[in-house]
Structure 1
């Protein structure tokens, strides 16, 4: 019997990358691949349960820990990802990316996998892997739309001639659709000189030169952008999403086990498709003023709502972050839950009728998986671009706010969405069958994605077939056929290959 294909996965230090990459690793393992997920100890705790469940099902999958350079970057022991640091210390996490290069190369030499799937920031691994004759795949936690649009903005820089503060809408050049954006909503790295901006050319070069890229999408979702990406932004593209469906995380009954009666039992008391779920992930948080406006707007809307309030991000007395008596007044009609919530279970619950979301890609995909219309409220990074996909291409949502917005925290703090605007949008989401024809059309299109996403990962589906294509390509891989005599290359990024093992 032939030895199974061995693949090493290395995610970036943030849960929104670690968790979906682990879901993808489970998909590989379910197809007979021998999988190792390399993470630092604290980040390993985030995925232990998922990996153990896959292993208990008989799949070859394990966690391999390597040290996080906390002391070297000035972080306390156990602080190892972007979700656990203050925004002012995010640069220390990115500094760790540079410091673990030697460790990653050592892992490659020790493990000698048949392939390595490494996250976007680890661009050096393309060349380290090539030196060892190993194909590297770049992991994207987003879809083709985001990669293509960011690539064209970076390539053409249509905003370069705009004066600071000029928010005149302009077309994103050289993409399949006519989509406009404004300067304040551009991804952060196109507006400020941060770590991503410093490394963007190297990241793009690495993605173009590696074996291929893996994206959290499926061809039928965004075919024009999948076609645009292959050959221009990558040599090969494999569209393997939605990642969560590979590990069947959309099951409401499974979520009830972890929910401890907080959310799903309350949803059981509500009417079908009546509840508006408000959830903004765990990375960014609002000002106190915006929390108050949110509370007032939700209360005034008259709609049942479930609000996931990230208490750990609120300094001081958390009670002061909501209007006095708010939770008493909305009791029975609304529910505020502090801390973790089973978002997938909530979205797939029959009572949930809309999703107020920041459009982080994982949340966007979870909304599509559930077939729930979205109320868009992007906050940073590529989320304002994703809003164009949701509103203009897929047409499965409505915008919360048409006023000024910004991708930079210091500017976003001054862009408060008032209670009246929140109430006006949320109040539209009456149960299905209302007289709001525009909303009914949005709701119908959103519902169509529930079966479409599930079909993608089933045998014969677009993502299932692409995973088969990728595994077959890796089994047939030959360094000589791929690179000829150039496997032993010299690049500016290979200095760490001769460093002492970490």
Structure 2
């Protein structure tokens, strides 16, 4: 005990927005000489291999994802299915428990990082290991779940913000399952069980942004909460933005292009997708939209509004494939980022120079949006015309974008000023390193049984 080096096993949820953020602390641990065994589905291996910066210290091991009725054969990751069948994939993850136990027995780690596999603390106890519930959503999202049973929009006693709360009109984000199969614990039960049974909670956030929410979680879960900071990899100078985007973006004035991306899981209905495209057209600005093809369409092109491509030729592109989001955001021509406000995109937007417009689709994204728009006042949220379906019109999207892109706009200048302040804080020298150093020291204490309270 008391060793300066330890071995961590990591088992994130099978979604890009979870596996990638788990690799960030893995790389930081490996950089300092610690060992990491990283469990993931076979299909995700190729997708993430290039992000393993220390292959001598980080070993990928794949798990076979069992088939569960209701899922297409061969499904392994969340990006392959609609959000409404996510619980079926969680059920498939539960069925990998035997495989995880085999790996634990083979590699003998000191601690296990997990998120949705709520049974990991039981496995760890059998082997005398410590567990870290690693949260890759905002602390405000978890704080909303800590004390259940309250009324939507009404903060429980001691809750740190009246602004960052779920409200009745956010019901459209509660995606109904596409099936009637009983799949065991629901998402909320998994999260709360994990929080109750882990040894410590670790959150990818900064005290400067969400300290009051972290304190609230620590108090109600009676668990130490460790913070990793924003935890982004250093930009790899050898990786350049694809030539097609360099060429296209370079044809426009600085800070004039609107870039819209909604993440790997958001699939819009066709009419909402078309409304999004028309809203971008109405702004009058050059734009690049990178979204998945809408429901029922195999390509974005076949779903575009009639006459749209001809009207926006030369100033607007709708792209259905993957793009290098951080590199696009850092291009001097891009001046506005329209985002779903997933947690990774939230940090990328804060660390960029772009104005931020948010159109959240899921519960955690709504809470991230409230944090940025209502609490920190660094962004604007697109107004919803229909609070039951979450529908937003082309006009409300146009108005939100133009309100921050107009140089004389009061709201545009306010969010830009606040955004600049936070960006300078988050990007200041040593800011991230200090968080990582403290985080790793806390993990050493956890493994050795030392208590520095």
Match of 1:328 in 2: 310
**In structure 2, what is the Cα distance between the partners aligned to 1:429 and 1:445?**
13
Q: Does 1:443 align with 2:443?
A: no
**In structure 2, what is the Cα distance between the partners aligned to 1:372 and 1:114?**
42
Give the SS at the match of 1:117.
strand
Structure 1 contact 456–464 (Cα < 8 Å) conserved: no
Q: 2:358 aligns with which of 345, 363, 376?
A: 376
Q: CA deviation at 1:24?
A: 2.0
From the superposition, tell whether residues 467 and 109 of structure 1 become closer, same or farther in structure 2 (CA, over 3 Å). same
Aligned length in residues: 446
The 5 A counterparts of 1:129-278 are: 129-152=124-147, 155-159=148-152, 170-174=153-157, 175-179=159-163, 181-186=166-171, 198=186, 200-201=188-189, 203-243=191-231, 245=232, 247-249=233-235, 254-256=238-240, 259-278=241-260
Spell out, residue by residue over 1:367-425, the C-alpha distance to the aligned partner (whole angstroms, 9 max, x if none). 1121433211111132212221111111111111143335xxxxx3xx43222222222
Q: CA deviation at 1:145?
A: 1.3
Give the SS at the match of 2:243.
coil
Structure 2 contact 383–392 (Cα < 8 Å) conserved: yes
Q: 1:453 aligns with which of 426, 431, 441?
A: 426
Q: CA deviation at 1:12?
A: 0.9
Q: CA deviation at 1:189?
A: 6.4
Q: 2:293 aligns with which of 289, 292, 311?
A: 311
Structure 2 contact 138–368 (Cα < 8 Å) conserved: no
Q: CA deviation at 1:8?
A: 0.8
Moved more, 184-193 or 16-25: 184-193
Q: 1:94 aligns with which of 76, 90, 94?
A: 90
Give the SS at the match of 2:208.
coil
Q: 1:61 aligns with which of 58, 61, 68?
A: 58
From the superposition, tell whether residues 212 and 371 of structure 1 become closer, same or farther in structure 2 (CA, over 3 Å). farther
**In structure 1, what is the Cα distance between the partners aligned to 2:267 and 2:219?**
38
From the superposition, tell whether residues 301 and 214 of structure 1 become closer, same or farther in structure 2 (CA, over 3 Å). same
Q: Does 1:425 align with 2:416?
A: no
**In structure 2, what is the Cα distance between the partners aligned to 1:326 and 1:202?**
44
Give the SS at the match of 2:205.
coil
Q: What stretches of structure 1 of length at least 5 have no aligned partner? A: 160-169, 407-411, 483-502
Q: Does 1:279 align with 2:261?
A: yes
Structure 1 contact 278–357 (Cα < 8 Å) conserved: yes
**In structure 2, what is the Cα distance between the partners aligned to 1:460 and 1:340?**
30
From the superposition, tell whether residues 305 and 375 of structure 1 become closer, same or farther in structure 2 (CA, over 3 Å). same
Structure 1 contact 262–337 (Cα < 8 Å) conserved: no
Spell out, residue by residue over 1:293-351, the C-alpha distance to the aligned partner (whole angstroms, 9 max, x if none). 22222112112211113238652564341123322322332222221111111122222
Deviation above 6 Å: which 4+ runs of structure 1? Answer: 189-194
From the superposition, tell whether residues 436 and 364 of structure 1 become closer, same or farther in structure 2 (CA, over 3 Å). same
How high is the TM-score relative to the length of structure 1? 0.81
Q: CA deviation at 1:76?
A: 2.1
Give the SS at the match of 2:109.
coil
CA RMSD of the aligned region, Å?
2.9
**In structure 1, what is the Cα distance between the partners aligned to 2:46 and 2:9?**
18
Q: CA deviation at 1:476?
A: 2.2
Structure 2 contact 256–286 (Cα < 8 Å) conserved: yes
Q: CA deviation at 1:117?
A: 0.6
Q: Does 1:466 align with 2:438?
A: yes
Give the SS at the match of 2:244.
coil
Q: What stretches of structure 2 of length at least 5 have no aligned partner? A: none
Structure 1 contact 255–345 (Cα < 8 Å) conserved: no
Moved more, 389-398 or 446-455: 446-455
**In structure 1, what is the Cα distance between the partners aligned to 2:270 and 2:295?**
11
Match of 1:10 in 2: 11
Spell out, residue by residue over 1:74-109, the C-alpha distance to the aligned partner (whole angstroms, 9 max, x if none). 5423x2011112456434312212211222222222
Structure 2 contact 258–288 (Cα < 8 Å) conserved: yes
From the superposition, tell whether residues 455 and 20 of structure 1 become closer, same or farther in structure 2 (CA, over 3 Å). same
**In structure 2, what is the Cα distance between the partners aligned to 1:341 and 1:87?**
21
Q: CA deviation at 1:266?
A: 2.1
Structure 1 contact 274–303 (Cα < 8 Å) conserved: yes
